[in-house]
Every structure is written in structure tokens, then in C-alpha cells.
């Protein structure tokens, strides 16, 4: 396969069967390997699309500075694309994210502004919005509310999966910005409405929910509840356990949020087996485990890993 | 066996600092009523009137056995002994 540049390789990722973790030949799990994108995560899709749309509508011009609140992956994707296109980029990132993410952001040339750990990404969003007001010339692409985020999955992730797996019954993805679920969810609603759209949301330690008051809560502007059929909250223990099972049984080395998504996918598989119904369950592998080695989630017992993740933004 | 209700940090002023309290009821509504009778005021922080009916506040998420109740009948979601109810404020991911 030959491409004109790295940016041209985004998307078109493999969909891989999981013969050992699938409960039966009739109830099968399929992993969409988004870690095979250029910077190693699913976020290359929305990042590139948001950047292209902003160039198209003229809001992003040569010499511009991009601003983005991010817990890591979106920032890394944007930084790579910004470097190749010649933009300066400033990322606001919570201080309780892994050191690998900060290192990668710096490598790709992003300037990092740390936001307080308490409150997690909420604080990053708040700080970024404040910076946007102070620097009206900076361009905030704003993944939580930018329709191009969902569009990248509506036109990419969703159609790719349906082409590879016409018998799909369930689509399972992580819920962060909600872009993956909104885009692929809308695509399946239109093209194969019986596909069940399942959201897996990471449940962090208490520090992350440490809001000063409930009015500081946050629901991404992109989120449309009607595009989701069910939503699960998955804690670090289940996420770590499933991340390890994915490597142990299928050889896939994924990040911790993928473990949370697999947990929800396996729940759907169990339901299908109980109901005696065939199922083809596709789920998103958001990224590889490389960026999370320093969190301690990949060594020692599950108890130890769970303890180490307390207070960290692991997804 | 009772229903375990997990309370987020921000609402523990109502539960004398307890992270988790015993709940009782057959629906989420009943669990919240029971919660409010033991910890007056907490109900107002969880629900509000929307179009004449009570509904969860926008920035409150409630999960029964890890499933978001907005997809299982909302306040009418059935609950039974041994279930775990988790209350969390909505926060950003990504």
C-alpha cells in the first residue's frame, strides 16, 4: 500500500476477529484496530477532519495557533497534523495524565498548559475556554462540540465496519467526547437501524469527580442520547482485567479504555448467548497500551493495578 | 440484603460524609424518596421538575449495576435487593 503522506493513511483500519474471547461461533466479537492509525489512536480521525474542515471554512489559516483541551490522544493527533501543516498548537491537559502523553505531545511540538487534576477534563475545558477568550486569534477546534469530530466516524469508522461486517448486530465504543458513538451511531441508525449502539464510559477515581458544585458538570455539546441504546460505566478494575485478557487470549496490546469497552462488549455477548441469538459485536480498540505503561496497570496483580490507577485519567 | 447507594464526594454533606448508604425501594424513584427521608435535601440535588414530571438533573448520572438508568426507564428503573446504585456528576472525557 502506497500513500502520498502520513496524513493520507488515517483510517482504513483492520477489523479483527477474536476467536478465543468470542463465546461461540454464533456470538462473535470483532476488534476495530484504531491503534494502527499514524499516531496510534482513533483520535487521528476526528483531529484530521476537524483541522481540514477549519481550513476549508477559512477559520484556520497559515500562521494560526490551534488551541485544544485534551486528555492526550486528540492533542497528540492534532500536534502531528499541525506540525505537518505548519500550525502552532497549544494543548490544555489535566496534570493527572500519563507522562508518555506529555512526552509525545512535546515531541510533536505542542505547547502544554496543565490544568488541575481535580475535576479532570472538565477543568481542561474550562481553562481552554478561558484562554480562547484571552486569545481571540487562536483557533479552538473544540472536539466536544465540533460536528467534524462525529463526521469522521459517520463517514469513516461506521462505513468501514459495515463493509467488513454486514452482519453486525452491536457497535460498542468508548464515551468521552461522544464523537465515535455519535458519528458511527448516526450512520448505523440510517443504514442498519437494528444495530445496537453501546457506550462504555470510564469510571475514574473520586478525585476526577471532585467538582466544586454540580453546575460545573459537563455533557459534550455533541451528545445526542437518542443515538445510543445503552450506556455502561466501567471502573478501573474491570478495565484492567479485560485489557489483560485481550492480550492474554488474543495477543492484542491495548490501552486501558479499550479494556472498558471490551467489558461492555462481553456483557452484550453474554446477553446474546443467554437469549440464544446470534451476534456480531464490533468494538473499538482506541489505542495501544504503550502510553500507559508508566501507570502501572500492566504489572502486578489486578488489585495493585486498580490502586495505582486511583486518581489518574486512564482513558 | 439492602441496596447499596454510592454517593459522590460533592453530595456527602448530606450523608454525614458517608461514601455509601443503604437504600430501599423497588424503583429508583422510591430509592431516592427513601434516601431523602434519611438525608433531607439530597433529592433536590438529584432530580428536578421537567415538563411537569420529575427527572434526573442534567449533570447527574445514575447507574444501576453499572448501567445508565436513562436507558432503562429513568426514575422508573426497577431496583432490587443486592443491586448497586451509583450516583456520579457528569464529567468530560476525551
Domains parsed from chain A with CATH numbers: 6-36+154-305 (3.40.50.1100), 44-140 (3.40.50.1100)
- B60 contacts A120? CB cut-off 8 A: no
Closest CA to A155 of A34, A4, A46, A37: A46
B25 found inside a domain:
yes
Sequence-distant (≥ 6) Cβ neighbours of residue A23 within 8 angstroms: A269, A270, A273
Residue B94, pLDDT score: 54
Give the total number of structural domains in chain B.
Answer: 1
Give the domain range for residue B70.
3-89
B82 found inside a domain:
yes
Write the pLDDT tens digit of every residue in B40-86: 999 999 999 988 899 999 999 999 999 999 999 999 999 999 999 99
Write the pLDDT tens digit of every residue in A41-70: 999 999 999 999 999 999 999 999 999 999
Global pTM reads 0.96
A273 CA: distance to closest CA in chain B (Å): 19
- Tell me, yes or no, if B93 comes closer than 8 A to chain A by beta carbon: yes
pLDDT band of A279, cuts 50, 70, 90: very high
Q: What is the ipTM for the molecules in this complex? A: 0.94
B20 found inside a domain:
yes
B chain contacts of residue A71, beta-carbon cutoff 8 Å? 93-94
CB proximity under 8 Å: A 169-198 to B: 174-177, 179
B94 found inside a domain:
no
Amino acid at each position: 500500500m502506497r500513500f502520498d503522506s502520513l496524513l493520507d493513511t488515517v483510517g482504513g483500519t483492520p477489523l479483527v476477529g477474536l476467536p478465543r474471547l468470542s463465546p461461540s461461533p454464533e456470538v462473535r466479537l470483532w476488534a476495530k484496530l484504531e491503534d494502527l492509525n499514524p499516531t496510534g489512536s482513533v483520535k487521528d480521525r476526528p483531529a484530521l477532519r476537524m483541522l481540514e474542515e477549519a481550513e476549508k471554512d477559512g477559520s484556520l489559516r497559515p500562521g494560526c495557533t490551534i488551541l485544544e483541551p485534551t486528555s492526550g490522544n486528540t492533542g497528540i493527533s492534532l500536534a502531528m497534523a499541525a506540525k505537518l501543516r505548519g500550525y502552532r498548537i497549544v494543548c490544555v491537559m489535566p496534570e493527572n495524565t500519563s507522562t508518555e502523553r506529555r512526552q509525545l505531545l512535546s515531541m510533536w511540538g505542542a505547547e502544554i498548559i496543565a490544568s488541575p487534576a481535580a475535576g479532570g477534563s472538565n477543568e481542561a475545558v474550562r481553562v481552554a475556554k478561558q484562554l480562547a477568550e484571552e486569545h481571540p486569534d487562536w483557533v479552538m477546534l473544540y472536539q466536544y462540540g465540533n460536528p467534524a469530530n462525529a463526521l469522521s466516524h459517520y463517514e469513516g469508522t461506521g462505513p468501514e465496519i459495515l463493509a467488513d461486517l454486514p452482519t453486525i448486530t452491536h457497535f460498542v465504543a468508548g464515551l468521552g467526547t461522544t464523537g465515535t458513538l455519535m458519528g458511527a451511531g448516526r450512520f448505523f441508525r440510517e443504514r442498519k437501524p437494528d444495530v445496537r449502539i453501546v457506550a462504555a464510559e470510564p469510571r475514574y477515581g473520586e478525585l476526577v469527580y471532585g467538582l466544586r458544585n454540580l453546575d460545573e458538570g459537563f455533557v459534550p455539546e455533541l451528545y445526542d442520547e437518542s443515538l445510543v441504546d445503552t450506556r455502561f460505566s466501567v471502573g478501573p478494575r474491570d478495565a484492567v482485567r479485560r485489557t489483560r485478557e485481550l492480550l492474554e487470549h488474543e495477543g492484542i496490546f491495548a490501552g486501558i479504555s479499550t479494556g472498558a469497552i471490551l467489558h461492555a462488549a462481553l456483557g452484550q455477548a453474554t446477553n446474546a448467548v443467554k437469549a440464544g441469538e446470534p451476534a456480531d459485536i464490533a468494538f473499538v480498540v482506541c489505542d495501544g497500551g504503550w502510553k500507559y505503561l508508566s501507570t502501572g496497570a500492566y504489572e502486578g496483580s489486578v488489585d495493585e493495578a486498580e490502586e495505582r490507577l486511583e486518581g489518574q485519567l486512564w482513558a | 440484603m439492602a441496596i447499596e447507594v454510592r454517593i459522590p464526594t460533592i453530595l456527602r454533606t448530606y450523608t454525614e460524609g458517608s461514601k455509601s448508604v443503604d437504600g430501599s425501594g423497588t424503583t429508583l424513584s422510591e430509592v431516592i424518596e427513601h434516601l431523602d427521608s434519611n438525608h433531607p435535601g439530597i433529592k433536590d440535588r438529584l432530580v428536578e421538575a421537567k415538563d411537569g414530571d420529575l427527572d434526573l438533573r442534567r449533570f447527574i448520572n445514575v447507574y444501576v449495576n453499572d448501567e445508565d438508568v436513562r436507558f432503562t426507564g429513568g426514575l422508573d428503573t426497577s431496583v432490587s435487593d443486592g443491586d448497586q446504585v451509583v450516583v456520579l456528576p457528569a464529567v468530560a472525557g476525551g
